[in-house]
Amino acid sequence: MKIVIVGGVAGGATAAARLRRLNEKAEIVLFERGPHVSFASCGVPYRVGGRIPSSEGLILQTPASLGRRYALDVRVRHEVIAIRRDEKRVTVRELETGRVFDEPYDQLLLSPGARPIVPDVPGARDGRVLTVRSVEDSERILALAKRGGRALVIGGGFVGVEIAENLVHRGLAVTLVEAAPQVLGFLDPEMAVHGRAALERHGVEVLTGAAVVGFETGESFAALLEGGRRVEVDLAIAAIGVTPETPLARDAGLRLGARGAIAVDAQMRTSDPSIFAVGDAVEIEHSVLGTRAAISLAGPANRQARVAADTMMGVEARYRGSIATSIVRAFDVTLGAVGASARQLRAANLAFRSATVHQTHHVSWFPGASDVHLTVHYAPGDGRVLGAQIAGEKGIDKRLDVMATVIRHGGTVHDLIDEELAYAPPFGAPKDPINLVGMVASNDLTGHAPIVDVDAARELMARGALVLDVREDSERARGAIEGSAHVPVDSLRARLHELPRDRRIVVYCAVGRRGYVGQRILLQNGFDAVNLTGGFSSWNARRAGS
């Protein structure tokens, strides 16, 4: 059997190694257009920031190392320019010599990846407009990123935030421009605000709702923004996303999905049963939404590569889709999400409810406690967890991984209550934020303590609901929901006669806990009351993120 692989990195190189472990006799040829067959593209921003001292630290495997360990025929600087499906051959150009030749295959695996998007505006082809994708990109950025200089980052997603942080570490002044109303668009606005705040605390100028319309080139270099602002910089980084590399598949007549990525089945087969595809170039199922999407994440690419290799070798395997588990750091704040956001759920017309808690990452009385902000979206019937978002300084990744596991296995908010998580004072709490958000959501679904999120609270207010602040006087003096009444929770039982019984009451406190106590007092005394989940903290975060 002869297997040809087009493209290395997470998809192609992983598949090649798995294929060899399954079949010692197969002939495996891997063509990679670039100079490196296996490198850590996710590490490029950290190479720029100096966390990775040299470019060699990004290179995971070489043709020689793969050849020694796995007996693979790896050829870098070789571009596959055509697939001749009827003959089961690919046409290859050796980039260093220009030689063109054909290579036969029994089975073909495509792992061409994706290419960075550069704004289609005047001046964007200038050599000072750079991308963040390859080892060579990191060296080009470092050549221009001089301490005391100025950089523009276009795009506030994962890569934009990471490269902004690392340019600051490099000693540059950074302006980040995002066309959307918020940075980190994979998050709900009230969660993304924590990322923006971290960027701004560390000196990054963040401009949302702004777009680059061109570049002034010449001896000086400047970005031109909508509205007429001119930002003079030494370099600009395009971090506005990627587009699947599919011309090869398209020209070969392989079926593409609605968004232009390669269509594959659960075994990673394309429309040609002899051709498989994995990684950033393919369209896969979002397991929560049930929709098809190109999800550019290294973890899914690795698992897809394993499935494709197993299937080629006759091993039963199936890719179960992606739940889009994502995490990013913005200086001292970590932000993560898994499953679907509120925006995605609305777009998919999926009914959901949301619960939010704000709690410290370990018990508050132990030194060093820092805030964790956690929101869970769940189905209104059975409570199945549809998505989770989390932000804070410590303990974010481990809780995100718990939520990912729950979602992957179809767990509910009721299951979150029973998760037995590690507790000792330096690490957590007897009621972890995971448990607590499950309790809040479960109370909501059972009717014990119905909650509303900020959007629902605003709708109730518009329909005449009374908003009741149960915080202390000193807290209210620092800010409150406009038009709200005020009765501190410890005085509530004695002042029930002051409240109307013919209006719904939206109760709120700082983070939701005292609001819950106040709500239970009201409910048991015949009032119609709901609790604002996340309290005034969530109200403020939504206002800042909108």
Active site residues: 509
**Angstrom distance (rounded) from CA 389 to CA 384:** 15
Residue 194 near residue 540 (C-beta atoms within 8 A): no
Say which DSSP state 465 is in. P
Residue 29 near residue 6 (C-beta atoms within 8 A): no
Cα 223 from chain centroid (whole Å): 27
Q: Which amino acid is at 176?
A: L
Question: How many residues are recorded in the chain?
Answer: 546
Residue 132 near residue 241 (C-beta atoms within 8 A): no
Residue 325 has which token pair? 């588990």
Cβ density class 258-274: b for 16+ within 10 Å, e for less: eeebbbbeebbbbebee
**Angstrom distance (rounded) from CA 187 to CA 208:** 15
**Angstrom distance (rounded) from CA 337 to CA 355:** 15
Say which DSSP state 114 is in. E
**Angstrom distance (rounded) from CA 211 to CA 231:** 12
Question: Between β-strands 107-110 and 2-6, what pairing exists: parallel, antiparallel or unpaired?
Answer: parallel
